[in-house]
Amino acid sequence: MTIRAIFFGTPDFAVPTLKALTAAPEIELISVVTRPDKPAGRGKKMQAQPIKLLAGEMGLEVYQPASLKSEQALAWLQEKKPDVLVVVAYGGFVPTPIRETPPLGCINLHPSLLPKYRGAAPMQWAVINGETITGNTTMHLSDGWDDGDIIYQENEPIHPEDSFGILSERLSQKGGHLIVRSLLDIAAGTAPRRPQNDAEATMAPLIKNEDAQIDWNRSAVEIHNLVRGLNPIPGAFTFFEGKRWKILRTAVLAESPGSPGTIVGTEFNTIRISAADQVLEILELQPEGKKPMAASSFLRGFAIHPGAACTSP
């Protein structure tokens, strides 16, 4: 049996799943749905998202509706007669009439072990919160916020050196294979279907600007995890003498701190800043208006006076 699928996705995280679907001989990918092009860069020129670019390279049909709630979008989908829809980081709500059109339903990949970390930023919050285990979940998309019935889950460790970017790359690669497995088993009638326990749910909302500002009154480990969880985007940040520093890479030093936010040393080509309980070592940063650089490079051109301090919100 050939499974006729339509893929909904937009950013880089969705790319491995699109590749996995096209590589599976049992799956016929008949179209790709992605978000409209967005203005980007200083010139605000319209720019295609990664999935549109890849679909074009593959010769796949691309559909970019302004909204999936329109009659035109529903009519387009019904004309295609898909067996199943696959949604990975599409970036928009998929309404009930769209989801209910294909006989095998609408399957979603979510990068957390649901019902933990429902929402738009599950990988970031897992790292920020110091989790050591996360994973991927395939589920039947529903009207709620990532609360559909679970098909499969796979665990993935979060290593001490992992940033959000590193973790996202691993989960995206493994997620594509989990989607293919889910589709084949659904078509064969052997896939499990398990409702989520809402009482165990936790949320992972979009990262706001205030979430990314470093509070030096927190522990060094908490700040270190914030830096990891927001690297590469949007980036944890602090202010030093009125200038914004994006902090990209850090280490925790088991040293007695001074007043929170105070720079206690710049020896060994790093910047050491007091947190509430220990010292945080800045290894890489992006000063305002500059490119990312090692702390050693920054210190060669910028003098930090003893006792200077970064500000907390």
Same domain, 241 and 153: no
pLDDT tens column, 10-68: 999 999 999 999 999 999 999 999 999 988 766 678 888 999 999 999 999 999 999 99
Please state, in angstroms and rounded to a whole number, the distance separating the CA atoms of residues 176 and 155: 14
Q: Which of 162, 182, 200 is the last residue of a domain?
A: 200
Q: Which amino acid is at 191?
A: A
Closest CA to 62 of 84, 89, 40, 35: 35
Whole-angstrom Cα Rg for the chain: 22
Output the pLDDT for position 43: 67
Better-predicted residue by pLDDT, 107 or 313: 107
Task: Please check the confidence at residue 194 and state whether its pLDDT lies above 90.
Answer: yes
Output the pLDDT for position 174: 98
pTM of the model: 0.96
Taking the CA atoms of residue 208, residue 14, residue 106 and residue 57 in that order, the dihedral angle to the nearest 10 degrees is 140
Same domain, 195 and 213: no
Q: Look up the CATH number of the domain holding residue 231.
A: 3.10.25.10
Please state, in angstroms and rounded to a whole number, the distance separating the CA atoms of residues 257 and 292: 26
Q: Look up the CATH number of the domain holding residue 139.
A: 3.40.50.170
H/E segment holding residue 80: helix 71-80
Is 151 within 8 Å of 191 (Cβ atoms)? yes
Q: What is the mean pLDDT of the chain?
A: 96
Sequence-ordered alpha helix ranges (H) in 160-306:
164-188, 209-212, 220-229, 295-301
Output the pLDDT for position 45: 80
Q: Which of 179, 200, 221 is the last residue of a domain?
A: 200
Same domain, 220 and 123: no
Q: How far does the chain reach from its first CA to its final CA, in angstroms?
A: 58
Same domain, 260 and 161: no
Percent of the chain with pLDDT over 90: 93
Closest CA to 227 of 276, 278, 281: 281
Helix 15-23 vs helix 164-188: crossing angle, to nearest 10 = 30
Task: Please check the confidence at residue 147 and state whether its pLDDT lies above 70.
Answer: yes
Same domain, 169 and 271: no
Same domain, 83 and 189: yes
Closest CA to 162 of 127, 117, 205: 127
pLDDT tens column, 198-231: 999 999 999 999 999 999 999 999 999 999 999 9
- In order of 139, 157, 270, 281, the CA distances from 263 in angstroms are 47, 33, 11, 10
Closest CA to 12 of 63, 41, 52: 52
Output the pLDDT for position 267: 84
Same domain, 69 and 217: no
- In order of 4, 19, 25, 234, 274, the CA distances from 181 in angstroms are 15, 14, 12, 33, 48
User: Which residues on neighbouring strands pair with residue 147, listed in sequence order?
Assistant: none
- Residue range of the domain that includes 192: 3-200
Quote the number of domains for the chain.
2
pLDDT bin (cut points 50, 70, 90) of residue 127 is very high
Output the pLDDT for position 222: 98
Same domain, 140 and 183: yes
Same domain, 159 and 225: no
Half-sphere exposure of 261 (CA within 13 A, CB side): 17
